[in-house]
Every structure is written in C-alpha cells, then in structure tokens.
Amino acid sequence: MVSTTRDPFFFLKLSVEYSALHQQETLFDNEAANSNKIRALIMNSRTPSIRNAAYVPRIYEFLSTPKILTMEFISDACKLTDLNNIENMGLDVKAVARSTIDVFAAQIFRMGFVQTDGHPRYISPS
C-alpha cells in the first residue's frame, strides 16, 4: 500500500500500483482463472445453502483469449436492484439479499477468495 505521509513520490507510486492492478484486470485469461476458481469453490462448498444459492457461469476457454472472455449466457437473470423483476420471478427480495450476503461472506471468511466482479450477469437472482 502506498503511504501519503509527506512522500514527494506519492502520486508516482500510486500510479505504478494502479497501473499494475489495471493491467491484471484487463487480461481476461486472469479473469477466466478467477471465475473458474470461484466456480469450483462454490460448487464444492460444504454448505448446501451456498451451493444452491450461487451459480457461476461457465467460461468457454476455447473461445476466449487474453482480450476476449466468452462465458455462458444466463437468459433469465436481472440486476439485483431490479426489485420488481425479482418479485415477478417469484423470489423473495429479502431472501435474495440474504443469499447474496451469505455467498460473499462465505467467499471472504471460509474460502479466502472473493470474485468481486458485480456485473449484472455475474450477480443476479435466477
């Protein structure tokens, strides 16, 4: 972590740190590996409520490159903020919220690995 304590090179160090993180985020092979890892962790969770509450789309590695990520399309998903659609799916909004919290808590406290890409197709009730 970069310290701001009267460091004349603070912004340079921050820029270097950001650049390294940004470069990792734009390599989709890294994203695919993270997605496959969290998929395996969730599918093999010892907690049935985690296995049943979360689904991580498959990555089609044979169609992916470091610049293109091809993954399974989930057609019946919606944003977590789309409460009307969640209710129209026959789901309880509070139960969906609780499941989302439980899955992220399991990632943090049990699995030690968190997939934080909160795009609508990554985190969605269905």
Q: Confirm whether 76 is a catalytic residue.
A: no
Encode burial over 78-107: b for 16+ CB neighbours within 10 A, e otherwise.
Answer: bebeeeebbeeeeeeeeebeebbeebbebb
d(CA 126, CA 78): 8
Residue with tokens 């985020």: 25
Among the listed residues 7, 29, 92, 117, the single catalytic one is 117
Taking residue 113's Cβ as centre, other Cβ atoms within 10 Å add up to 11
Catalytic residues: 117
